[in-house]
Each structure stands twice: as C-alpha cells, then as structure tokens.
Structure 1
C-alpha cells in the first residue's frame, strides 16, 4: 500500500470519525475516489445517499430500525401473501364463494397475485442476466434470508412463484409506457438453460436477493412498479454492499441496498416515467441538455453529430437513465458513481461526464445504425476528463486503479 493511499484512508477516517460528519469535506474526498479498505466506500455511499445521518450517534439506532422495517416488508409482501396463496382454494367453499382465479373483482386476492406475477417475471428475467460476465451474482450469498428460506416455512416463495407460474412458457415485458407485452420465448439453448438453474433449498444466489429488493420496491411504489433498467441501478449498489469487508454490514446488504436504492430512485424515477418525458424533469429535456452542453464544449463535434442527424436519444437515453452502468465495466461504474454521488449537483455532473465521453477523442466516435460507438481506448484510458465551463472548474475522473478502486471481481 502506497504512502499516498494510506494518507487518503487516514483522511477519510478522520472525517468519518467526527461526532458530526462534515458533509462538504466528505464530498471533496469522495469525489476523487473512495478507497475500498475498511468498508469506507459502503459507509460513504450510505451517507451520500441520505441513508445515514451526519450524526454518528444516530447510526446504530437508525440501522436497527430500518432493517427491522425491511423485515416487516418481507413479511407483509412475500411471506403473508405466500401463506394466503397456499390457503386459497383449500376448500370448495373458498373457491365458489370467497375468491377464485377468474374473479374479475380488482380487489380479488387472485387478481392481485396474477398482476404481481407479471412484474415478478420481468424482474426475474432481468436479474438472472445481471452482469453475465461476472460470476458474483450467480454465486450463493453467505447470508441467505433465513426469514424466507427457513425449511419449516410452508408458503410460496418468489422462487416457487416463478417456477410454478402459469405464464412460465411466455415472456412478459413492461416498458416505460406501462404496456405489458406477452410473447413466446426463443428456443432454449444449453446456455439459456444453465442461466435459469437455481441453487439447492436453503441457499440463494445474489441475483435472487436483487430480485427480492426490486419486487419489494415495485410493491411499495405501484405508480412506477418495475421498469426494465432498474436492475442495472440496483446491481452496483448491492455488489458494493455485499462485498463490504465488514461482515456485520455485509450481513445486512439486502436491507441497506433497498433503502439506498429507494433514495436514489427518488431522484431519478422521473427518467422511468414516460408521461414526464417532455417536462423539465423528464428524460427528453435532459438529453437535449447533453447536446446544449456539448455545443458549448465542442462545437465541431456537435455540428458533426447534427450533420449526420444523430439524435441524443440514440445514446444519451441509456447513459442518463442507467447512470452509465452499461457503458463501463463494473469497477469503472463504481468509481464514476463515487464522484456522481459526491457531487452536490450530481446530475449536472452526469451531463458533463456524458459530454466528456463524446469529446474525449473525437476521431473515435462512429455511428452505426442507431448506436454511437467508441474505440476501446476510451474505456481503457487512464483518465476521463471534462471541463465544467459554467463554473470554470476542471473536473478529472481517474479510471479506477489498484489503490483507489479495490473492487474485486
């Protein structure tokens, strides 16, 4: 470990060790990258995402309260409905008088069950292929949810719901318009079969934990529920918390991820709501803002893109909606998120990063079909730079390196 790295760790520990964390100092430190050592990144993210307060004395009680609250969510939205489903139709009287699968009543328990299954199937499809180039999400977690996996429990878990659903032969997709599409799946291949293998009873893979987080979020937020792409937001958060070197915090990665994800979604959820696209808080406005910023930064490239009729929707939509999580390897995403979360105007900063990606090496930009392509040098470059013209401050984003990242794949 270099002297500089040890010095940075000491700086973080000093700021985080104060009775009241100085948020300005913490933001300045985090913007240049957070060391993995000692769980610093996990702690800093929880503060920057407003999960933990600045007063250290409140941390223990708040964490205990929030983790108990999450356990209550599990009981109310997975365990109790699972018990109710197991008891539905156990007698002829239940089927004919109380409720039955064909009951059109919107308050019918079966109706709610089937609607939840549509959401669950899409979540399940997306989380199984989360970061397929990494083994992490397919591996079993060291801390499975005993509340769910207790062998003495006789209720329908999410895993059983997916396995037993009547729609398992079809693909269900919900887009940003709120439209649910049902289509026949592609022919199975050896790879696709392997993708859907599950672990033995009593174990669960990390992707199953992510699935549960997204399902609970969808249940608590019916106005938006689940939209494809949310899995790419929660993935880096969960990975960071689930690899925390502090075993006590790692054990509660699921609950902590849920609340941090919820807080982050409160800031970006408008990107996932199509009816808000053309409003000032919508994704269309933000995409146009990328081009207006690019025009100030690099008018030559801006005119080149305009000349070729390349709309920002072709590339900026995914960049902004998914916070660049699909444009870089996971270690790079986590490093960029250090700066993104640390900046008090984080989404103005995101626009600057997008412009930096465009202007980094103009010669490497190519347009194929409806996708903007870059040469691989951009992703392997030791630094990604942009200039914040309005504030006249030069922002430098070093791509994750050994000491700064510490992100293990």
Structure 2
C-alpha cells in the first residue's frame, strides 16, 4: 500500500469512529490532510469546535446551526420591510404592518431615530463599503472567488426587483487598489497586501446567481453585525477566505450546499481565538499581537543570536514583517494550497499558535545567509515578500525547533 493510500485509510478510520478521537485526529491532521473526500472540511469543523466528537450529534448540530444562520440572513441582511416569509401585510383592522423582524413599516427610510431599522440599515453601509472592497480582492491570484457558487442563497439572489437584498447593491464600489491596510480605531496598523491579480474581474452576477466573493461578503457582514464591539476589521477577509474555500470545495455535495453557514460558524470559532489580534487596545495583553511578536522575537534570539542581532542593528523591528504574518496566520505569504497545509498543522496544535510562531521563526532561519548579507532595504523586501519555497521544508524545519 502506498504512503498516500495508507494516510487516506488512517483518516477514513479516524473519522468513521462513533466518537472521534480528537488526539488521534490532531496527530493525523498535523502532518497534512489528503486532498480527497471531505477529510479537510470535516477535520477543520472538529478541530475548531464546530462539531463535537460524537458522530450521532452531527446531524442535529448541523441542522440547528444552519437554520440559525438562515435566520441571521433574514434578520440582518434583508432590508427593512422585506416581504420574506409572507410578512408585510396588515390585518385590515388598522394594525401597523410589520416585516419578519417586527419592524413597523411606518418606519420611514429617511428616519434618523435610534430605533429606526432604516437608520441602522444605512449606517451599516459604512463598514459594508470596506467589506465590499476587501472581498473583491480576495485571493486575487486564483479565479475561484470570481466564479458563481452552485448554491446561491435563494432569498437573496431572487430579489424580484427589491433593491438591497444583495449587499453589494447597497454600496458603490470605488476604484480598487492594493493599498496598505492602515490602522483605524480597533483595526490594523499596516498589512501591505499582496498585489497579484487574476485576469478575471470580481463583477456581480446576474439575478439568480452569485459569485463566491458575494457569499464571503455576506458572512463578514453578518459577523460584524453580531459583534458590534469589534465590527469588521480589514484582514478578516483573509481569514475567512481559506475556510470558505475548503467548505465550498467539499466533494460531498450535501455538505457543499451548506458551505456558507458552516464557514460562518467555523470562522466565528477561529475569530474567538484570534480576536485580540484585531483589537488595538489588547495589543499588549497576553494573546495580543505585540505579545505574539515578542514571543517570536524571543524564539529567534534563542535559536540564532546572529540573525537576531543583525536585524536589531538594522532596526528592522518584528512589526515590519511579523505583524502581518501572525495576524493573518500567514494567509498572505504563500499560495492558497500552502496556506491550507499550514492551517492543518496550526489547527491541530492544542496550544494553537505556538506552532504558528515556530513556522514564522523557521521562515527567518531558512533565509539566514541572505539576511546576514542583506542591507535593511533588502531584508525588508525579503521578509515582506517571502520567496517561493516548498512549504513542507518550512513545516519540517518548524517541527525541528524544540
């Protein structure tokens, strides 16, 4: 039996248990998930805590979560006064007509009252504009996100002429550029997004269809609405993208049909672990981004004092390169297939981000000769635009770090 077939059988056996042994699943997933069947999508759902280890609970959990997500769409995405679920008709006795959220239809679109659903609707467009810009440049080196999904959201794409159900209709896209991500409020400092572009455009689909980027836009919008204290921060699109890709590429069509809902809850679970990265006031807290960069710097100092001192003498501080590495879980440094392989190992790590720091440290150590020879400008370019490399070399090196 080939090594690949042996690994497939190991995953098959592990995921077929009545109660999945999470310790064994972590061991298997840490070494990479075979790109067959539903192994990666199912493993991530388990490792992120979306599904519990007991198989008998999966059907109920998925049904409840997917129904809840549909409710989120109806309550948070559809515009006030929409006609979904037969709402919006008065009873003929002088009662105020209401929509499915109980919003009085006398609530005028020009109302500025704090209780006005229309006022909230238009205020949401401020962060929706940023989401719209970001999802339209998601993974620009591949065409996946520009392609139509096989399973569009019916209550959104069949608008029957009702404006605003499709989120991109609510904002007017400006000319898209790959400008640096600047920190604003709770947001990020600078991420220097990669500027590769595929030849296809991120145009919206015709009525009845929607592109994958439109689905991701809806996921991020709902997340922001449900987490008003944090809201949407640039960079979240780079976190949700790989998760959605995995769910929407699931060979099992019964799972793929619910990729949007499953992705939302997996993304929410992951964000609960890394949300401190996206909140400026928590930068110095344990788990904050400055704390994480400090751990990386200390590890580099321990593993190779020469590189550490060289970068220190050049005043090339960790925030110039590792801020993006750590905050976006390396999703901007490597091609998508390599990112998925990295996340297999990161999600398998019970300490979760200890191994991420080791990968980042290995990325520096592997470039030792070049870094020691380079001047400041060359090292900035090297670390901010990491050269192509076999990702397994990086991961193997990271494993070797005690």
The TM-score normalised by the length of structure 1 is: 0.82
| Structure-1 separation of matches of 2:387 and 2:173 | 42
Give the corresponding residue for 2:268: 262
| Structure-1 separation of matches of 2:301 and 2:329 | 21
> Is 1:373 aligned to 2:372, yes or no?
no
Q: What is the aligned counterpart of 1:237 among 238, 243, 264?
A: 243
Q: 5+ unaligned residues in a row in structure 2: which ranges?
A: 89-105, 189-196
Give the corresponding residue for 1:17: 16
Give the corresponding residue for 1:128: 136
| Structure-2 separation of matches of 1:68 and 1:157 | 19
Residue 256 of structure 1 deviates from its aligned partner by 0.3
Give the corresponding residue for 1:185: none
Q: What is the aligned counterpart of 2:126 among 118, 125, 132?
A: 118
Give the corresponding residue for 1:186: none
> Is 1:106 aligned to 2:106, yes or no?
no
Q: 1:82 to 1:247 in 2, by over 3 A?
A: farther
Q: 1:65 to 1:382 in 2, by over 3 A?
A: closer
Contact 1:241 1:253 in 2 (8 A): yes
Residue 98 of structure 1 deviates from its aligned partner by 5.3
Give the corresponding residue for 2:208: 202
Contact 1:217 1:262 in 2 (8 A): yes
Query: For each residue in 1:55-103, what CA deviation from the matched residue of structure 2 results, as whole angstroms up to 9, or x when unmatched?
Result: 011011111111011001011111253629xx9xxxxxxxxx9545362
Give the corresponding residue for 2:49: 50
Q: 5+ unaligned residues in a row in structure 1: which ranges?
A: 88-96, 181-190, 397-409
Residue 310 of structure 1 deviates from its aligned partner by 0.8
Q: Which has the higher contact order (CA 8 A, sep 6+)?
A: 1
| Structure-1 separation of matches of 2:392 and 2:26 | 22
May I ask how many residue pairs the two structures share in their alignment? 370
Query: For each residue in 1:279-317, what CA deviation from the matched residue of structure 2 results, as whole angstroms up to 9, or x when unmatched?
Result: 222111111111001111111111111110111110111
Q: What is the aligned counterpart of 1:314 among 316, 320, 328?
A: 320
| Structure-2 separation of matches of 1:164 and 1:64 | 30
| Structure-2 separation of matches of 1:100 and 1:17 | 53
* Higher strand residue share: 1
| Structure-2 separation of matches of 1:253 and 1:387 | 34
Give the corresponding residue for 2:230: 224
Query: For each residue in 1:305-339, what CA deviation from the matched residue of structure 2 results, as whole angstroms up to 9, or x when unmatched?
Result: 11101111101110010000000000000000000
Give the corresponding residue for 1:7: 6
Residue 18 of structure 1 deviates from its aligned partner by 1.1
Residue 35 of structure 1 deviates from its aligned partner by 0.7
| Structure-2 separation of matches of 1:23 and 1:242 | 24
| Structure-2 separation of matches of 1:317 and 1:67 | 34
Give the corresponding residue for 1:74: 73
SS in 2 for 1:81: coil
| Structure-1 separation of matches of 2:199 and 2:388 | 35
Q: What is the aligned counterpart of 1:253 among 235, 252, 259?
A: 259
| Structure-2 separation of matches of 1:63 and 1:125 | 31
Contact 2:32 2:344 in 1 (8 A): yes
Q: 1:81 to 1:99 in 2, by over 3 A?
A: closer
